[in-house]
Amino acid sequence: MCAHILGAEAERDLKARYGGLPEGGLGRRMPHKTISMGAKKKRKHKDGYLWYHKGLRFECTQCGDCCTGRPGNVQFTSEEGAAMAAELGMEEDDFYEQFASPAHPAGTWQMGEVSTEYGFDCLMLGRCEETGKTFCRAHSSRPTQCRTWPFWPENLTSERAWKVAASECEGIGRGSFISLRVIQEQAAETPPWGER
């Protein structure tokens, strides 16, 4: 799909779900007469594109901070539960008994947690004793909300929101640029609040 069309769809989705992208920018706050040609060009540029149109840097360091700490809510569907059980080589019933509990809305599940020295670890979280890095035991089939982090719609509403997310995730701002198309696909896939 054309990135421009996808951008418009994602913007509409953001507006519907989160009240829209922030208006303004430096150009809009300046009195019209004092706006130079360069500023005008810049304003047009800002209005026509999302603030992250060039992509965003992200590379997970496997610090594990998003899978532990404060009590969290990692919600997933029955399909995702079946996929995780298969990845772990378990019967679905055993998987739910050991790792999850029913959540709302009906048909969704919540991953269990355990209190550790690091905080409340998701029960899928593993730690490598040698490197200190963490990993998800069901990485290939992990819940959508885990897979689409940090490109959640609310983190993309403004550069400020992205910086707030970066304060909790050291992988934001690292590595190579993730393209606008991938960012928007992941944001669109992220379940709405209440289902994560």
> Strand runs (DSSP E) across 20-88, as ranges?
56-58, 75-77
Considering only CA atoms, give the Rg of the chain: 20
Size of the site for ligand SF4 (CB under 6 A): 21
| Residue at token pair 């991938």 | 182
Closest CB 50 distance from ligand SF4, rounded Å: 22
Sketch the per residue contact string, 152 through 191, with ligand SF4: x for CB under 6 A, - otherwise. Answer: -----------------xxx--------------------
Footprint of ligand SF4 on 74-93 (CB under 6 A): 74
CA-CA distance, 121 to 74, in Å (whole number)?
11
For residue 67, the SS3 value is helix
Among 11, 50, 62, 118, binds ligand SF4 (CB under 6 A): 62
For residue 139, the SS3 value is helix
Please state the φ and ψ torsions of residue 36, each to the nearest 5 degrees.
-75, 170
Question: Of the listed pieces 25-33, 36-44, 135-143, 156-164, which binds ligand SF4 according to CB under 6 A?
Answer: 135-143
Query: Closer CB to ligand SF4, residue 143 or residue 153?
Result: 143
| Sign of the dihedral defined by the CA atoms of residues 161, 164, 170, 173, in that order | positive
143 lies in the binding site for ligand SF4 (CB under 6 A): yes
Closest CB 190 distance from ligand SF4, rounded Å: 13
Query: Closer CB to ligand SF4, residue 52 or residue 152?
Result: 152
111 lies in the binding site for ligand SF4 (CB under 6 A): yes
103 lies in the binding site for ligand SF4 (CB under 6 A): no
| Residue at token pair 């690091």 | 118
| Sign of the dihedral defined by the CA atoms of residues 27, 16, 10, 110, in that order | positive
| Residue at token pair 């707030």 | 164
Q: Which helix (H) or strand (E) holds 46?
A: helix 37-48
Query: Closer CB to ligand SF4, residue 39 or residue 62?
Result: 62
Residues in contact with ligand SF4 by the rule CB under 6 A: 60-67, 74, 111, 122, 124-125, 136, 142-143, 146, 149, 169-171
